């Protein structure tokens, strides 16, 4: 499981997912789109979950081993990773891993239901520029998988749309098309 707001998905997410899959020998990586990322609600504008899911679907289309998951959208309400991992464990066989960028690792202690999370999660840490070296608190099972460091964030991408700066190569063309078709982040229909 690789959870996120994915508003929008970018090469940082995709390169991390591909390399975590390769480095930890995972069968598949589910990019789980948060329905209600409760830590962000009220802090900034969020695109509708359906738009974020459509962008993730577009991003992984035709890519071996990466899948978009709407499990949190279908469940509705606030999205807690502990709930999702438990649901996935019931539905799937085999060992479950939770991929987290190091900034998310640094914020783990602010999450809800960490007692259950600690029980179920086997964490794969991928480094992210600015928070290298962050590791889960004591009690979590984790390993670190090497991925190329890419200093790109959804926040930066959204600002680029507003400023009219190029998005090319920071996200797949299919996602850029989706942003324009859906008029996300104030984008017009022109490519
Ligand atoms: P925002 O700026 O809106 O917070 P973001 O780029 O941080 O967006 P999220 O959807 O918040 O993206 O992140 C989802 C997951 O992807 C988190 O575990 C995060 O650490 C990881 N991630 C995001 N960007 C990168 C990156 N450039 N390299 C490695 N991991 C990343
Ligand atoms: Mg983030």
Question: Is the pLDDT confidence value at 92 over 90?
Answer: no
Instruction: Quickly list H helices, 3-153.
Output: 11-23, 49-60, 71-75, 81-91, 102-106, 114-120
Q: How far is the CA of 6 from the centre of ligand 2 (A)?
A: 8
Place of tokens 């004591």: 138
Query: Does 159 contact ligand 1 (Cβ within 6 A)?
Result: no
| Ligand 1 atom with minimal separation from the 101 CA | 20
Q: What is the mean pLDDT of residues 107-125?
A: 91
Q: What is the mean pLDDT of residues 81-101?
A: 93
For ligand 1, atom 20, the nearest C-alpha belongs to 101
Query: Does 136 contact ligand 1 (Cβ within 6 A)?
Result: no
**What pLDDT, on the 0 to 100 scale, is given for residue 154?**
98
For ligand 1, atom 14, the nearest C-alpha belongs to 4
**What pLDDT, on the 0 to 100 scale, is given for residue 45?**
87
Q: Which of 4-13, 114-123, 134-143 bottoms out in mean pLDDT, i.e. has the lowest?
A: 114-123
**What pLDDT, on the 0 to 100 scale, is given for residue 37?**
85
pLDDT digits (tens, 9 = 90+) for 32-90: 999 998 888 877 889 999 999 999 999 999 999 999 999 999 999 999 999 999 999 99
Query: Does 81 contact ligand 1 (Cβ within 6 A)?
Result: no
- Where are the domains positioned within the chain? 2-151
| Ligand 1 atom with minimal separation from the 44 CA | 3
Q: What is the mean pLDDT of residues 92-100?
A: 91
Question: Is the pLDDT confidence value at 187 over 90?
Answer: no
Query: Does 127 contact ligand 1 (Cβ within 6 A)?
Result: no
Q: What is the mean pLDDT of residues 9-13?
A: 98
CATH code: domain 2-151 is 3.40.50.620
CA distances from 125 to 91, 106, 146, 148 (A): 24, 11, 9, 13
For ligand 1, atom 21, the nearest C-alpha belongs to 101
Residue 71 and residue 31 in contact, taking contact as beta carbons nearer than 8 Å: no
Question: Is the pLDDT confidence value at 191 over 60?
Answer: no
Report residue 189's pLDDT band, with 50, 70 and 90 as the boundaries.
low
Q: What percent of the chain has pLDDT over 70?
A: 98
Q: What is the mean pLDDT of residues 86-96?
A: 89
**What pLDDT, on the 0 to 100 scale, is given for residue 83?**
95
More confident residue, 125 or 109: 125
Rounded Cα–Cα distance for residues 161 and 152 (Å): 14
Question: Is the pLDDT confidence value at 17 over 70?
Answer: yes
Query: Does 145 contact ligand 1 (Cβ within 6 A)?
Result: no
Signed CA dihedral, 118, 98, 10, 91: sign only: negative
**What pLDDT, on the 0 to 100 scale, is given for residue 190?**
60
The residues facing 44 across adjacent strands are: 41
**What pLDDT, on the 0 to 100 scale, is given for residue 30?**
98
């Amino acid at each position: 499981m690789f959870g996120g707001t994915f508003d929008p998905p970018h090469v940082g997410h995709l390169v991390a997912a591909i390399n975590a899959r390769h480095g930890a020998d995972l069968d598949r990586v589910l990019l789980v789109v948060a329905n209600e990322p409760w830590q962000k609600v009220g802090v900034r504008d969020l695109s509708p979950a359906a738009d974020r899911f459509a962008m993730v679907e577009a991003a992984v289309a035709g890519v071996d081993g990466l899948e978009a998951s709407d499990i949190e959208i279908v469940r509705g309400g606030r999205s807690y990773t502990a709930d999702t991992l438990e649901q996935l464990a019931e539905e799937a066989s085999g060992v479950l891993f939770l991929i987290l960028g190091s900034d998310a690792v640094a914020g783990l202690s602010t999450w809800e239901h960490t007692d259950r999370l600690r029980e179920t999660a086997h964490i794969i840490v991928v480094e992210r520029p600015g928070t290298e070296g962050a590791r889960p608190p004591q009690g979590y099972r984790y390993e670190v998988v090497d991925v190329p460091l890419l200093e790109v964030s959804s926040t930066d991408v959204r600002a680029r749309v507003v400023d009219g700066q190029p998005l090319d190569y920071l996200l797949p063309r299919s996602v850029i098309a989706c942003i324009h078709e859906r008029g996300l982040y104030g984008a017009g229909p022109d490519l």
